[in-house]
Amino acid sequence: ADSSSCNILKCCQTAKNDSSLALNIQHPGPLFLPVRTKKRHFIPPAVGMKGKKEENPEAKARAAGIVFRQQYLERPINIACSAGVFDPYIPPEGDARLSTLSKEGLRQRTEQIRQSAASQLAIRKVKEYDSQFSTKTFAEQAQEIFIEAHNALTQFNKEKLHSLVTERCYPEMTRGNRYKTIRWRFVESLEPPRVVHTRCPDMVTKGNLYGQVTVRMHSKQMLAIYDRFGRLMLGSEEQPKDVLEYLVIERHLVNPYSRWRLHGKIVPSWAPPKDPVIKTVAIPGPELKPWEEFDALNYEVPKPAAVQWNK
């Protein structure tokens, strides 16, 4: 019994020594050491400062650890087409009405010949980049571009329309046509189209040239626009109208893969005003109970109250 108790005491002493050794073991240093950084303190706004302009918001944001992104006031541009019509053609007053045999018609004709010197220089510049350009055949080509572009517009063919009109002309043709139905047809030409004006401006750099050709087109067209409910807003499908237009066709001459596209129209100051658009509006009716019926014959539309306004 004494020997067994001695053995038990020895085992307990060895276990205590082992546990003390296990507790005294030091682990290696950590793999990631904490880096001391600058302390950021957020200062809350003072009471009653809501709605008032801060003196220096960037300094307060920097103290709070917030970094403002730098704002670049840059505007993207597209060099595939120009931003507008350079030196626009001024149509003579009474065009398509005065005869060239009359005194006024002869005076306007001689003035056009006098002003065509700049156009001749521009035509030479265009022929340096487009060897197939000719004023005799270009007018018919411009008329075909005009017809194909309007047919693509009525069919809502965006891909084809982008290839026929410039990036400046596209939003002007498609703006406001989302929920409308357009019926357009080219009936006939009353006069053969002809080139009346040519300019060759540059943009951004001196060698970045654009060719702008103004084509006079007198034709008969049909146009009818319907709203999303199928009601006629403008024009008529049965009655075509005589239209005198001055089309501006443009091409980026420096780019060998460019093509002539519709760029805009010139509307003279003496042109007659356009027909007003017939709008469909909903007239509010009386508030009816579920068991009542609306009598349209005996209902009077309330008149709006008079409101003072100034121009």
Check: CB of residue 91 under 8 Å from CB of residue 246.
Answer: yes
In degrees rounded to 5, what are phi and psi of residue 183?
-120, 115
Q: What is the 3-state secondary structure (H, E, C) of 184-233?
A: EEEEEEEEEEEEEEEECCECCCCCCEEEEEEEEEEEEEEEEEECCCCCEE
Question: Does pTM top 0.75 for this prediction?
Answer: no
**Which pLDDT does position 21 carry in this prediction?**
47
- 285 falls within a domain: no
- 53 falls within a domain: no
Q: Residue 110 maps to which CATH number?
A: 3.10.450.240
**Which pLDDT does position 302 carry in this prediction?**
73
- 90 falls within a domain: no
Q: Hey, what are 252's tokens?
A: 């980026």
- Give the pLDDT confidence of 24-63 residue by residue, as tens digits: 555 565 566 566 665 656 666 667 666 666 567 777 787 7
Check: CB of residue 213 under 8 Å from CB of residue 203.
Answer: no
- 198 falls within a domain: yes
Q: Hey, what are 114's tokens?
A: 């006098």
- 212 falls within a domain: yes
- 83 falls within a domain: no
- 123 falls within a domain: yes
Question: What parts of the chain have a pLDDT lower than 70?
Answer: 1-46, 48-55, 96-105, 111, 114-115, 296-297, 308-311
Q: Given phi > 0 = left and psi -120 to 50 = alpha, else beta, which region is 199?
A: beta
**Which pLDDT does position 49 carry in this prediction?**
65
Which residue range forms the structural domain that includes residue 121? 103-266
State the total domains in the chain. 1
- 107 falls within a domain: yes
**Which pLDDT does position 284 carry in this prediction?**
73
